[in-house]
Amino acid sequence: MVATAPAKPTACLALADGTIFYGVGFGAIGQTVAELCFNTAMTGYQEIMTDPSYAGQIVTFTFPHIGNVGVNPDDDETGDPVAAGMIVKWDPTIASNWRSADELKVWLERRGRIAMGGVDTRRLTRAIRQQGAPHVALAHNPEGNFDIEALVAAARAFRGLEGMDLAKDVTCAQSYRWNEMRWAWPGGYTAQTDPKYKVVAVDYGAKRNILRCLASVGCDVTVLPASATAEDVLAHNPDGLFLSNGPGDPAATGAYAVPMIQEVIGKTELPVFGICLGHQMLALALGAKTVKMNHGHHGANHPVKDLETGKVEITSMNHGFAVDAQTLPNGVRETHRSLFDGSNCGIRMTDRPVWSVQYHPEASPGPQDSFYLFERFAEAMKERASA
């Protein structure tokens, strides 16, 4: 099955089932293999491409106007794009925004990321929903020369994300301090000069905006690599432990992350807060299980219900695995649930300030309905200090 091709295709996307999509290539020249997902956000393509949680994935953007605001250094969530590639409906337009410092095409080429435009992204999105996130090969060749059989074979040879520990590939190499707060008009990013709480953040692929949110509620943040032990964490004498977002199979990362979390919880009464992969790490440490989703949740418009207050939050999400709420042990309560498919989106221990959420309260991109979770973390550390 072959999708309609442009007059001179310079890019090709091959799915493992043999389906071929042709389009116009931009960004880097070459070939890559990955899992294919789709993201429904209308803003934040730069933040999405630099989100470490997208390691091992090519992102199909369902919103057609990608590239229209350009790119700038302030919006990177990490030093370089982590997503393997980008699929869009239209060839990116010329950037028009006062913050723009470069064109998306140039930025992708310089950063070594392949992209393809001119694709029927609605059809591609339906294919992802129907068959689950497929394994694909994406190629960009200005001459339009493609070995289709080799591309399909490469897609079929991709091992997939199940069983893959990708946190080790995107985590920091060594510990560092963070004091930059959230962007605010007119000064942009400013430094936290009066921290109240010492927080250790374990980096499984942390987004910068998460660290900014921690700093913005008064945290003096020390970031440690994903392989940090409980001894490493407690050596900083923290007031709280934060578990970051990240890519890959939580069960694989859990081989070394879970023992650390269990030891910290077992030895201390520290408040613990996790996001995304950090949520899954906490759930595994408490005795629950995780499962691979059909096509995951990737977007900035996902409704989540707080089961304890009845309120609904519109959230930003990016995950392909989920916590199985049916496996939560005694003493652990489900706190949030997706209104799209009923999947678990939050848990907490019933006898101490230890909790996590599957979605991204820092947004970037997305709504800021859930920023209160960072404030709750700060309040828990305040209460512990005054106890």
- Taking a C-beta distance cutoff of 8 angstroms, is the pair 272, 243 a contact? yes
User: Would you call the peptide bond into 186 cis, given omega within 30 degrees of 0 as the criterion?
Assistant: yes
Distance CA 270, CA 264 (A): 8
Q: How far is CA 217 from CA 114, 182, 345, 380, in A?
A: 38, 10, 23, 12
65 is catalytic: no
360 is catalytic: yes
Estimate the crossing angle of helix 277-286 against helix 250-267, to 10 degrees.
Answer: 60
Which residues, in sequence order, are CB contacts of 34 under 8 Å at separation 6+? 56, 57, 58, 84, 85, 135, 136, 138, 158
135 is catalytic: no
Neighbours of 226 (CB within 10 A): 26
Distance CA 44, CA 66 (A): 9
- Taking a C-beta distance cutoff of 8 angstroms, is the pair 13, 102 a contact? no
Which residues, in sequence order, are CB contacts of 7 under 8 Å at separation 6+? none
Q: Smallest Cα–Cα separation from 247: which of 41, 83, 40, 32?
A: 83
Question: Sheet holding 344-349: strands in order across?
Answer: 176-178, 219-225, 197-203, 240-243, 272-275, 354-357, 344-349, 332-338, 289-306, 312-324
Token digits for 25? Answer: 């290539």
* Catalytic-role residue among 279, 298, 319, 360: 360
Neighbours of 369 (CB within 10 A): 18
Beta bridge partners of 140: 11, 30
* Catalytic-role residue among 35, 276, 319, 345: 276
Distance CA 117, CA 229 (A): 44
Q: Provide the H-helix boundaries in 228-371.
A: 230-234, 250-267, 277-286
Active site residues: 276, 360, 362
